A and B are shown apart, each in its own frame.
Chain A
Amino acid sequence: AQSVAQPEDQVNVAEGNPLTVKCTYSVSGNPYLFWYVQYPNRGLQFLLKYITGDNLVKGSYGFEAEFNKSQTSFHLKKPSALVSDSALYFCAVRAQRGGSYIPTFGRGTSLIVHP
């Protein structure tokens, strides 16, 4: 079965410190991977994606993600966290379902950045 897992319900980090939000995936074929962010009472906003190419992908708001095929991981990172980064983060994989390709989301990780 094709799936994505976010092992941490919550990540706490101090402002200015580096942050990592973890994601692992299971999919047949080449993975198409995404990170989305959700601020309170808002829809999901696209951060970045990996389709092919460089394993380090840069996205919006200073975020980046590292694709690791051997570990089937796609962790989200930022060198220096901001309080305004506090939000809910979702990892997603494009998975085949019948004849279509459907985004499948993890359960989400709540990132809390402390001043």
Chain B
Amino acid sequence: NAGVTQTPKFQVLKTGQSMTLQCAQDMNHNSMYWYRQDPGMGLRLIYYSASEGTTDKGEVPNGYNVSRLNKREFSLRLESAAPSQTSVYFCASSETRDRVYGYTFGSGTRLTVV
């Protein structure tokens, strides 16, 4: 099915380890987003990419980096994982900022940092 694909679905890291969360969409969307979801906090924006070749910080960017590899792919990197980064991470995409047909979400990556 068309949509947003995230890998991996689950990951356990030790403090200080690094990893990259992958996200790909096949809907030819221009904009992509990374959110983290924590209990009682809702979804908080980490980084977004309004279009290919651009990335910008969201509400909670510290400790993360992103790469918009091409129009389809938007990866999130944790350089040195911390327990505070234990969360569920969601990638989303949308067509363009001026044509609002809603946002499509991936199924999430559940990350635990020990």
Is A100 in contact with B105, judged by CB distance below 8 angstroms?
no
Count: A-B pairs, CB below 8 Å = 60
Give the chain B neighbours of A44 by CB distance below 8 A.
Answer: 43, 90, 92, 103, 105
**Size class of B's contact patch?**
20 to 34
Is A51 an interface position by the 8 A CB rule? yes
Looking at chain A's contact residues, the main secondary structure is: strand
Distance, CA A53 to CA B43, complexed state (A): 28
Q: With contacts A99-B50, A100-B48, A100-B50 known, is A108 near B100, CB below 8 A? A: no
Is A102 in contact with B48, judged by CB distance below 8 angstroms?
yes
Which B residues lie at the A interface, using CB under 8 A? 4, 31, 33, 35, 40-43, 45, 48, 50, 56, 58, 90, 92, 94, 97-98, 100, 102-108
